Structure 1
Amino acid sequence: MEALYRSWARTLRGVVVATLVVLGLVVAGVGSASAAPPDRHGRGVPTSKISVQLWTFAEYIGFGTDGATIARTEEVLSRLKAMGYRNVEPFTLSGLTAEQYRAMLDTYRLKASARHVDVGTPQNPADIGQILRDNRTLGITYFGSGSTPIFPPVYTTEAEWIAYAEYLDGLGAVARRHGQTLMVHNHDIEFETVFGGRTVFDILMANTHPKNVVFQLDLYWATNGGGIGNPIDVIERYGNRIKLFHVKDMAAGPFPGRIEIVGQGIIDFPSIFRAAGGSTKYYVVEHDPRFGDPTFDPFEAAQEGFDHLDGMRF
């Protein structure tokens, strides 16, 4: 009788375990289906490659170096981490040393994916040694000026732009020997200014070596300067020399519309990212500040941008 009982108990336990396994699989399947986005074809933007250019918060943080400015910088980093960001792209250290800024990044477990810093011109060279030392402390690989010399336009001849490109190439060669990479960031002028059938963007590409200089394509300004299809045209022409994107949108209406929150405008980001293939290192959300406009919320722009990229499939 006891043997019969033990046999019956083993059978019952087997049935229970099997039932629980089946139920677990069903529940897991339902959970996965409900959590998955409706469109699973193609690639997505890895969360680890999403960053944000802190120029988005330029008006909020301010341009000082005092304690209040530093406190606002820390607040921004804290809130970005809570949004889901793992990376940020600074344009200033807000009066902090590279060591202090790195400590603040580490506090919020953030990485500096790249950095905008003035790299100078042939006429006014930057201290590239100090820039590289700070970059190493900050953990930065990619760096470059936030713009070419266009505010106001400095160069008016093709020869001047060639000389500027050659200057950048020299800086890039130095950076490469130190394990870092110089990048060029565009606005619309680089696509609108043409010499003998070549845009300034073409000239910068032609007179810099791929090993020394890469490009951070600002998708709003590339669209503004060359039309809605221009980013894809540029990507198809220059391929993996474009390593980073500034992802900002363009409002609908008469072309070109103003800068819009990512995902609320007309730029077809999935098609652009698909054209780029796997060469993109970082997708950097950005929304230029609307200085003096109290209706603009940079935190909303950053959150909406992150969510749009994080859920995108292409």
Structure 2
Amino acid sequence: MERRQFMAGTGAALIGAGVGGTALAKAGAKTLAKTRAKTHAFGIQLWSVAKQLESDFDGTIAMLAGLGYRELEMFGPYSFSDPRQIASWQVTAKSLGFSGSGFYGRSTAQLNKLFRSHGLRVPSLHTDLFTLQTRMGELAAAAHALGATYVTLPSLPADHRQTFDDYKRAADMFNAIGRDAARHGVRFAYHNHGYGIVPVNGVRPLDTLLSATDPKSVFFELDTYWTIAGGADPKDFLTRYKGRYRMVHLKDMRGNHRFAGDGGGASDWIAMFPHLTYLGDGSLDMKGIIDVARHTGVEHFFVEQDRADDLMVALKGSAAFMQKLGYR
């Protein structure tokens, strides 16, 4: 059982101003580009508000934008996803208390209109292994329609990580998926969980995934919480593999806790959920992690709140923390 299966006007005037206006427009574009380069946006993985999206999609998106979130990472399955994943989701949804996913019945045109009205961007789409292997064309088309760069695998299925050799084969598989993604004009990324961090014969499987994959076509998304729970230091991974991590999931932890096992099963995850909290309310060096991430090539920061005693308090708290650091 995978974790998520378990868990419950100015520009127009310039353009119309003739030759002189064109020059001004170009100058304005350069200024805007410089401004954006200095302004670091932060976002949220929509899994954090999955139930709220199902009951009030437009209102939830407006709420997130109002809190200051500027980037969204979506999760599948989507209408075009591999039928096996759609069938699996239908079974899983019964235990989650909601069934909405992907675009929640909306077209990419409808999503674009809504997101743009709130100043929101979609850099990444989480998806599944089946869809990455069999539906890359459809997945990439959706990504292009939304302006997304990354198609991201949120977890490695259990049957692909039973042995160290499984991880070696996974690296080969990731290289193939990465090349296919590049052919379709998108980038493939893998999001780590806590498994693969405990050494096997002195070698961490996650190190194999990083070292045996092509840095030109396979990228990574670091999860702060699960990395810590697995017994590793996020700053160490970010530094040693500079340029490989392009996205980060930000989560804080109350106290200092580790998996009882290797982080590969539900019992390990269940034991860790009570310690999850919002940014700045826990004990992790979130500012330090974010600073290292920024200086080692990370492009996107997504808050992810798998659970919360009070979701609105958590969402507001994490947004306030990021804004205090200068992210807008």
Asked if these proteins are the same fold (TM beyond 0.5), I'd say yes
Mapped partners of 1:275, 1:254: distance in 2: 22
1:303 and 2:316 are equivalent in the alignment: yes
Partner of 2:172: 166
Mapped partners of 1:148, 1:254: distance in 2: 23
| Alpha-carbon offset, residue 47 of structure 1 | 5.3
Mapped partners of 2:257, 2:130: distance in 1: 36
Mapped partners of 1:125, 1:177: distance in 2: 13
Name which of 279, 294, 297 aligns with 1:262.
279
Q: TM-score, normalised by structure 2?
A: 0.70
Computing the radius of gyration over CA atoms, which structure comes out larger, 1 or 2? 1
Q: How many residues align?
A: 250
Q: What whole-Å deviation, never above 9, does each CA across 1:91-129 have from its counterpart, x for those lacking one?
A: 1222323333233222322111212111338xx933111
| Runs of 4+ residues deviating >6 angstroms | none
Mapped partners of 2:65, 2:257: distance in 1: 36
Partner of 2:230: 225
| Alpha-carbon offset, residue 144 of structure 1 | 0.8
Which segment drifts farther, 214-223 or 84-93? 84-93
Name which of 113, 116, 120 aligns with 1:106.
116
Mapped partners of 2:129, 2:215: distance in 1: 18
Letter in 2 for 1:212: S
Name which of 81, 87, 106 aligns with 1:96.
106
**Structure 1 pair 206–278 and aligned structure 2 pair: CA distance change class (3 A):** closer
**Structure 1 pair 279–302 and aligned structure 2 pair: CA distance change class (3 A):** same
Q: TM-score, normalised by structure 1?
A: 0.73
Partner of 2:21: none
Unaligned runs of 5+ in 2: 1-36, 76-101, 260-271
1:204 and 2:215 are equivalent in the alignment: no
Q: CA RMSD in A?
A: 2.4
Matches within 5 A, 1:63-74: 69=54, 72-74=56-58
Could you say what secondary structure the match of 1:301 adopts? helix
Q: What whole-Å deviation, never above 9, does each CA across 1:63-91 have from its counterpart, x for those lacking one?
A: xxxxxx2x522211110111122211111
| Alpha-carbon offset, residue 271 of structure 1 | 1.8
Q: What whole-Å deviation, never above 9, does each CA across 1:202-245 have from its counterpart, x for those lacking one?
A: 12112210010111100011011014xx1122122111211111
CA contact (8 A) 1:118 1:126 kept: no
Could you say what secondary structure the match of 2:130 adopts? coil
Partner of 2:52: 60
Mapped partners of 1:206, 1:264: distance in 2: 34
1:177 and 2:183 are equivalent in the alignment: yes
Mapped partners of 1:190, 1:95: distance in 2: 35
CA contact (8 A) 1:47 1:310 kept: no
Name which of 291, 294, 301 aligns with 1:274.
291
**Structure 1 pair 128–144 and aligned structure 2 pair: CA distance change class (3 A):** same
Q: What whole-Å deviation, never above 9, does each CA across 1:6-61 have from its counterpart, x for those lacking one?
A: xxxxxxxxxxxxxxxxxxxxxxxxxxxxxxxxxxxxxxx96543011111112333
CA contact (8 A) 1:190 1:199 kept: yes
Mapped partners of 1:47, 1:76: distance in 2: 24
Letter in 2 for 1:203: T
Mapped partners of 1:313, 1:298: distance in 2: 23
Mapped partners of 2:38, 2:47: distance in 1: 22
Could you say what secondary structure the match of 1:208 adopts? coil
Name which of 156, 159, 163 aligns with 1:157.
163
Partner of 1:26: none
| Alpha-carbon offset, residue 313 of structure 1 | 6.7
Partner of 1:17: none
1:131 and 2:148 are equivalent in the alignment: no
Name which of 199, 213, 221 aligns with 2:218.
213
Mapped partners of 2:203, 2:214: distance in 1: 17
CA contact (8 A) 2:187 2:217 kept: yes
